[in-house]
Amino acid sequence: MLSKEAEKFLLNLRLELMSRGKKDKDIQEIEEELRDHLKEAEHMDKVSKALPEALSKIISVPFPKNCRGIKAL
């Protein structure tokens, strides 16, 4: 599902393309393509916003006190 802003953008684009005389089939193809890209972009944005929190949780896990078995390369 897309954000309200993305849906509004697609609607405005559809109206603009219609006003410029584009064929309905062409508008539909453009909208479908953009919808796919917008979904992926919004998903990546959510992932990138969640990443710092996930990394901080991983980093905050203390190392075991017995690290003698670990050898440096």
Q: Is residue 64 part of a domain?
A: no
* 38 domain-assigned: yes
Q: Count Cβ atoms within 10 A of the Cβ of residue 30 and give its class: 0-12 exposed, 13-18 middle, 19 or more buried.
A: middle
Per-residue pLDDT of the chain (73 residues; tens, 9 = 90+): 889 999 999 999 999 999 999 999 999 999 999 999 999 999 999 888 887 777 777 777 666 666 555 555 5
How many structural domains compose the chain?
1
- How many Cβ atoms sit within 10 Å of the Cβ of residue 39? 14
Whole-prediction pTM value? 0.68
At 54 the pLDDT is: 77
